[in-house]
């Protein structure tokens, strides 16, 4: 089911892009006309990784500093947070978890602008936010989020494109369904051969590819019981370097953009230290091990990159004798306070 749902992402994205056009344009006008002194994201798990992507786009394209809110400040500490002139963005598949819903309600009650990118538009989160934007992923049966994560990234990029009023990014979004379909055909069997017997892996990205590394690390853990840690390419030379030994698996997502050169250099250095590097990079990078698909613009590359990864991850889980649809100790909806 995980593989089936991952393969359906392109159709879900096409549906989303054909829907709510006026609502996104209205949201863009609202964001352009409002002054924010604080911008926050509110999410858990895969949705938090999608928030990291949204935050990167907002900071890189619009110059607004965005922070991830520790939700316990609201739900447990009952801290008197200042909500005035704040933008609060939440992403969720189910929209059910109290520690996501309560902060959005708190900030909206305090006068903040609240946006929820949520798959279940009738959920408590959707009702709590001023701006509830449906992901249009349809019902997701597999515990491991795939199509809902991809549609979360797309919704984030739509929001930013309308906020920035950027015709190039908007046009790039329209081309995504075809790019996603092409991404499902990439051959990542080399990764399965190397990782089927592995016990651990380090997943690396930087800049706009770091959210993909975070999501890949989570999927390795939950669907293959593979101990995976995600690091920024800028951080790996600190403490994590001590873990590198002969044959240590290392997956590097070197998407296009200003951070790519440093990640390619890191791949070469790690190979020199004996790591078993799986370098995922676009077709024009000769030293790649895995071909990363590309989108119409580099800022959308993470969306098609994770599509290629999900297909491999579902197959890897089966190769390791596991069921990706029933990860141990996990359920589809997680409710925390």
Task: Write the pLDDT tens digit of every residue in 271-292.
Answer: 999 999 999 999 999 999 999 9
- The confidence score (pLDDT) of residue 336 equals 62
- The confidence score (pLDDT) of residue 330 equals 47
* Mean pLDDT of the chain, nearest integer: 94
Q: What are the distances in angstroms from CA 144 to CA 1, 47, 218, 295, 328?
A: 10, 12, 9, 24, 11
182-320: CATH class: alpha beta
E strand map for 258-332:
276-281, 290-291
For residues 265 and 270, give the distance between their C-alpha atoms in angstroms, rounded to a whole number: 9
Confidence of residue 18 (pLDDT cuts 50, 70, 90): very high
Whole-structure pTM value? 0.95
Measured between its terminal Cα atoms, the distance across the chain in Å is 29
Give ranges for CATH 3.40.50.10490 in the chain: 1-165, 182-320
Structure tokens given for 149: 């994560």
Buried b (16+ CB within 10 A) or exposed e, 193-203: ebbbebeebbb
- The confidence score (pLDDT) of residue 245 equals 82
pLDDT, mean of residues 216-225: 95
CATH of 1-165, one of 3.40.50.10490, 3.10.580.10, 3.40.630.30, 2.40.260.10: 3.40.50.10490
DSSP string across 48-83: HHHHHHHHHHHHHHH---EEE--THHHHTS------
Residue 118: beta bridge partners? 92, 134
- The confidence score (pLDDT) of residue 277 equals 97
pLDDT, mean of residues 112-140: 96
Exposure of 36 in the CB half-sphere (CA atoms within 13 A): 23
Structure tokens given for 259: 């951070």
């Amino acid at each position: 089911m995980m593989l089936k749902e991952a393969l359906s992402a392109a159709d879900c994205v096409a549906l989303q892009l054909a829907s709510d056009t006026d609502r996104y344009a209205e949201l863009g006008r609202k964001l352009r006309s409002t002054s924010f002194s604080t911008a926050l994201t509110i999410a858990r798990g895969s949705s938090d990784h999608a928030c990291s992507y949204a935050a990167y786009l907002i900071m890189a394209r619009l110059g607004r500093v965005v922070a991830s809110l520790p939700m316990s400040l609201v739900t447990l500490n009952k801290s008197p947070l200042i909500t005035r002139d704040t933008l609060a963005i939440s992403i969720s598949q189910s929209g059910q978890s109290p520690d996501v819903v309560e902060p959005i309600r708190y900030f909206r009650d305090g006068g903040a602008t609240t946006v929820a990118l949520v798959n279940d538009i009738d959920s408590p989160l959707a009702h709590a936010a001023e701006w509830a934007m449906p992901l249009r992923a349809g019902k997701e049966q597999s515990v491991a989020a795939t199509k809902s994560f991809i549609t979360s990234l797309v919704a984030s990029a739509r929001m930013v494109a309308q906020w920035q009023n950027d015709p190039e990014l908007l046009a790039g979004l329209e081309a995504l369904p075809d790019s996603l379909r092409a991404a499902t055909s990439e051959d990542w069997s080399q990764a399965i051969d190397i990782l089927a017997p592995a016990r651990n892996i380090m997943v690396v990205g930087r800049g706009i590819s770091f959210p993909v590394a975070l999501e890949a690390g989570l999927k390795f853990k939950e669907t293959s019981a593979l101990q995976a840690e995600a690091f920024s390419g800028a951080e790996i030379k600190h403490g994590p370097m001590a873990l590198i030994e002969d044959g240590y698996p290392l997956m590097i997502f070197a998407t296009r953009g200003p951070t790519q050169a440093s990640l390619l250099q890191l791949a070469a250095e790690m190979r020199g230290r004996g790591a078993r590097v799986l370098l995922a990079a676009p077709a024009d990078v000769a030293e790649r091990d895995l071909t990363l698909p590309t989108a119409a613009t580099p800022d959308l590359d993470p969306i098609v990159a994770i599509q290629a990864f999900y297909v491999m991850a579902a197959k890897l889980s089966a190769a390791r004798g596991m069921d990706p649809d029933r990860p141990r100790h996990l359920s589809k909806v997680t409710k925390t306070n």
